[in-house]
Amino acid sequence: MEAITAYENKHTLPRDWINYVISKSAPNGYWQRLERGEIQMNQDFFKGFTADLRNEQVWRDYHTSFRNSKKKLKDVANPTQLGDHVSLKAEAANTRPTNQDRGSQGPGGSDNNHPPSKEPSSPRPSLSKLAKDTTIGDPVSIESEEVAQSSSNISPSVNGQSTPSSSPSPLQAASTLNSLPPLPEIDGESLFWSMMDHSRKPDPYVFPALLRLRKLSPKERPILAALSNTVIFPPNHPYNRLSDSKGRDPRSQFDIFIASAEVGMRKPNADIYKLTLGKLDNIDRERGGSGITAEDCLFLDDIGENLKTARDLGMRTIKVVLGKTWRAVKELEQATGLEMMDEKTRRSKL
């Protein structure tokens, strides 16, 4: 969550506000619609995205429900995972995602002149694997979890019986709003490009692991697929050039690459997972295999809700934790029996 945290610190914004407000715009906010390819990346998008970020009702809810709740925000957006989708902060360093995990997403863009500002181990690799998308420069996916209602909606007992508290009167609601800090005036375009700049930096552990996998022959490694929430940049925009500083196009490292903005669906919708499964099945049969099912797949992601959909479909999952992505690589090694870290990295992380 470096990009969003840095932006919030720079502009003295409340912690987690950006994640919270974007998550509340789902499923049809400007952020989500761009990822599905339903709208173009232009000034109309930035204007709408900015409006989503300045929602007074969500600002009120953030203070009265989210900030006062004892529950933690489990997943916090972070657009640093190999520049692809948003990496989210795990609820705890070594815990598996729960059924209550959530996540939110986003994309964005600008005009052409804008400058880039677990599961049980197996003795052999699975026939297929839905690898965590690691595309440099892809947009962020930031679906934060829905924060549970505070237990304070039960009023003190009357004659020994607890009774639900009544809804606040219009006068009380107005009083609460007047007592809040001013609604932050976030510029959606500025925020977006800050996130995109961070998203183009390869992860120091996951990306090298992907490259090592790709060097193996098709018979030695699983089928590699990327399922990414992405956006479409305007023609001739610099971010359309996907190659990194060494000329490597991350998409070319996968056997299958599914981009949400190109297929009109996005994670965590189950349909985009099923689309990917169908393509995996076709490739395996073309190679003489017996086909692929969800149970053959190992899915890596940093967002709890995306992982939950994968588990519901029958896939094994590994959660990629921000700042500790090497742990996901180690889990992947254990699950496949393949080495994906160099010795120097392995010794430093033992």
Closest CA to 307 of 102, 129, 91, 31: 102
Kindly report which listed range (142-151, 214-223, 310-319) carries the lowest average pLDDT score.
142-151
How many alpha carbons fall within 13 Å on the CB side of residue 315? 27
Read off φ and ψ for residue 337, nearest 5 degrees.
75, 15
DSSP 8-state secondary structure symbol assigned to residue 239: G
Q: Report pLDDT for 309.
A: 98
Q: Which of 133-147, 161-175, 206-220 has the lowest mean pLDDT?
A: 133-147
**Residue of 229, 251, 227, 249 whose CA lies nearest to 299:** 227
**Confidence check: pLDDT of 39 > 70:** yes
Instruction: Read off the pLDDT of each residue in 19-45 and give the average, rounded to a whole number.
Output: 95
pLDDT at 319 over 50: yes
Asked if residue 76 has pLDDT above 70, the reply is no
Say what the pLDDT of residue 159 is.
Answer: 42
Give pLDDT, residue 19.
Answer: 83
The torsion defined by the Cα of 86, 279, 315 and 31, in degrees rounded to 10, comes to 20
When mean pLDDT is compared across 42-46, 74-78, 138-142, 236-240, the lowest value belongs to 138-142
Q: Report the alpha-carbon distance of residue 150 to residue 198 in Å, rounded.
A: 34
In the predicted model, is pLDDT for residue 64 greater than 80? yes
Q: Is 2 helix (H, G, I), strand (E, B) or coil?
A: helix
Q: What is the mean pLDDT of the chain?
A: 76
pLDDT of residue 169: 54
Please give the share of the chain, as a percent, with pLDDT higher than 90: 49
Q: Is the pLDDT of residue 70 over 60?
A: no
Rounded-to-integer distance, Cα 194 and Cα 6, Å? 9
Of 224, 218, 219, nearest to 254 by C-alpha is: 224
Q: Enumerate residues 6+ apart whose C-beta is below 8 A from 76.
A: 1, 4, 16, 19, 88, 89, 144, 322
pTM, entire model: 0.68
The residue ranking higher by pLDDT, 83 or 33, is 33
**Higher model confidence: residue 200 or residue 128?**
200
Q: Are 126 and 297 in contact (CB under 8 A)?
A: yes
